[in-house]
Chain A
Amino acid sequence: MNLYTLRDLSKRYSRGGEAVTIFEGLNMQIAQGDFIAIMGPSGSGKTTLLNMLGGIDRPSSGTIECQGERIDNLSEARLSKWRAAHVGFIFQFYNLMPTLNAAQNVELPLLLTKLSPKQRKEHIATALDIVGISDRAKHYPRQLSGGQQQRVAIARAIVSDPKVLLCDEPTGDLDRVSADSVLEMLQLLNSKLNKTIIMVTHDPAAAKYARRELRLDKGRFIEQESAQ
Chain B
Amino acid sequence: MNDLTLMWKNLFRKKTRAILLLISIMIAFFIYAALFTMNGALNAGVQSAKANRLVTVNSINFTVSLPFAYYNRVKSVEGVVDAAHASWFGGYYKEPVNQFQTFATDPEAYLNVYPELITSPEERAAFINTRDCLAVGRELATMNQISLGDRIPVMSNIFSKQDGSRSWEFEVCAIMDYEPETGRDVPANFALMHYDYYNEALAFNRDMLGWIVILTEDVSVNDAVSRTIDEMFANSPYETETSTEAAFGEAFLSQLGNIGLMLSLVVGAAFVTILMIVGTTMVLAINERIKEIAVFKTLGFPAPRIFRMVMGESLLLCFFGGFLGIAAAQGAITLINPVMKNVLGELSISWDAMGYGALLMLGLSLITGLLPAFSAMNVRIVTAFGKH
B300 at the interface (CB under 8 A from A): yes
User: Which residues of B have CB within 8 Å of A85?
Assistant: 300
- Is B298 within 8 A of A83, CB to CB? yes
B320 at the interface (CB under 8 A from A): no
Interface string of A47-73 (1 = CB under 8 A from B): 000010010110000000000000000
In chain A, positions 175-195 with a C-beta closer than 8 Å to chain B are: none
A170–chain B nearest beta-carbon distance, Å: 15
Contacts A98-B13, A99-B10; A108 near B381 (Cβ below 8 A) = no
Interface string of A85-99 (1 = CB under 8 A from B): 100010100010111
- Report the stretch among B1-9, B33-41, B65-73, B155-163 that lies at the interface: B1-9
Identify B1's interface contact among A56, A83, A89, A107, CB under 8 A. Answer: A107
Contacts A51-B382, A99-B13, A111-B1; A89 near B303 (Cβ below 8 A) = no
- Is B303 within 8 A of A77, CB to CB? yes
- Is B291 within 8 A of A95, CB to CB? yes
- Is A56 within 8 A of B2, CB to CB? no
Contacts A56-B382, A80-B303, A107-B1; A89 near B9 (Cβ below 8 A) = no
- Is A76 within 8 A of B303, CB to CB? yes
Contacts A111-B1, A111-B2, A111-B3; A80 near B9 (Cβ below 8 A) = no
Interface residues on A, range: 20 to 34
- Is A83 within 8 A of B299, CB to CB? yes
- Is B300 within 8 A of A83, CB to CB? yes
B14–chain A nearest beta-carbon distance, Å: 10
B292 at the interface (CB under 8 A from A): yes
- Is A56 within 8 A of B298, CB to CB? yes
The A contact surface, by secondary structure, is: helix
- Is A104 within 8 A of B300, CB to CB? no
B51 at the interface (CB under 8 A from A): no
User: Which residues of B have CB within 8 Å of A112?
Assistant: 299-301
B249–chain A nearest beta-carbon distance, Å: 55
Q: CA separation between A156 and B299, bound complex, in Å?
A: 9
Q: CA separation between A51 and B382, bound complex, in Å?
A: 8
In chain B, positions 284-322 with a C-beta closer than 8 Å to chain A are: 291-292, 295-303
Q: CA separation between A150 and B186, bound complex, in Å?
A: 67
- Is A109 within 8 A of B299, CB to CB? yes
A100 at the interface (CB under 8 A from B): yes
- Is B13 within 8 A of A80, CB to CB? no
A118 at the interface (CB under 8 A from B): no
Q: CA separation between A84 and B3, bound complex, in Å?
A: 16
User: Which residues of B have CB within 8 Å of A100?
Assistant: 1, 6, 9
Q: CA separation between A112 and B1, bound complex, in Å?
A: 12
- Is A80 within 8 A of B302, CB to CB? yes
Chain B interface residue count, CB cutoff 8 Å, equals 21
A195–chain B nearest beta-carbon distance, Å: 17
Contacts A99-B9, A100-B9; A80 near B301 (Cβ below 8 A) = yes
B360–chain A nearest beta-carbon distance, Å: 29
A81 at the interface (CB under 8 A from B): yes
B166–chain A nearest beta-carbon distance, Å: 68
Interface string of B83-94 (1 = CB under 8 A from A): 000000000000
User: Which residues of B have CB within 8 Å of A109?
Assistant: 299-300
User: Which residues of A have CB within 8 Å of B6?
Assistant: 100
User: Which residues of A have CB within 8 Å of B9?
Assistant: 99-100
Q: CA separation between A82 and B300, bound complex, in Å?
A: 8
User: Which residues of B have CB within 8 Å of A54?
Assistant: 298
Q: Which A residue's beta carbon lies closest to that of B300?
A: A84
User: Which residues of B have CB within 8 Å of A99?
Assistant: 9-10, 13
- Is B302 within 8 A of A81, CB to CB? yes
User: Which residues of A have CB within 8 Å of B298?
Assistant: 54, 56, 83, 89
B312–chain A nearest beta-carbon distance, Å: 14
Q: CA separation between A17 and B303, bound complex, in Å?
A: 30
User: Which residues of A have CB within 8 Å of B303?
Assistant: 76-77, 80
User: Which residues of A have CB within 8 Å of B2?
Assistant: 111
Q: Which B residue's beta carbon lies closest to that of A110?
A: B1
Q: CA separation between A99 and B5, bound complex, in Å?
A: 10
In chain B, positions 324-379 with a C-beta closer than 8 Å to chain A are: none
Q: Which B residue's beta carbon lies closest to that of A82?
A: B300
A157–chain B nearest beta-carbon distance, Å: 9
Q: Which B residue's beta carbon lies closest to that of A81?
A: B300
User: Which residues of A have CB within 8 Å of B300?
Assistant: 80-85, 109, 112
In chain B, positions 1-37 with a C-beta closer than 8 Å to chain A are: 1-3, 5-6, 9-10, 13
A119–chain B nearest beta-carbon distance, Å: 13
Q: CA separation between A81 and B297, bound complex, in Å?
A: 10
Most interface-central of A51, A56, A80, A108 (chain B CB within 10 A) = A80
15 contacts between A and B (CB under 8 A): A51-B382, A56-B297, A57-B381, A57-B382, A76-B303, A77-B303, A83-B300, A84-B299, A95-B295, A99-B10, A99-B13, A100-B9, A111-B3, A111-B301, A112-B301
A residues touching B (Cβ–Cβ < 8 Å)? Answer: 51, 54, 56-57, 76-77, 80-85, 89, 91, 95, 97-100, 104, 107-109, 111-112, 156
Having A56-B298, A81-B302, A111-B1, one finds 14 other A-B pairs with CB under 8 Å, namely A51-B382, A54-B298, A56-B382, A76-B303, A77-B302, A77-B303, A82-B300, A89-B299, A97-B295, A100-B1, A100-B6, A100-B9, A112-B300, A156-B299
The 3 closest A-B pairs by CB, nearest first: A84-B300, A99-B9, A56-B381
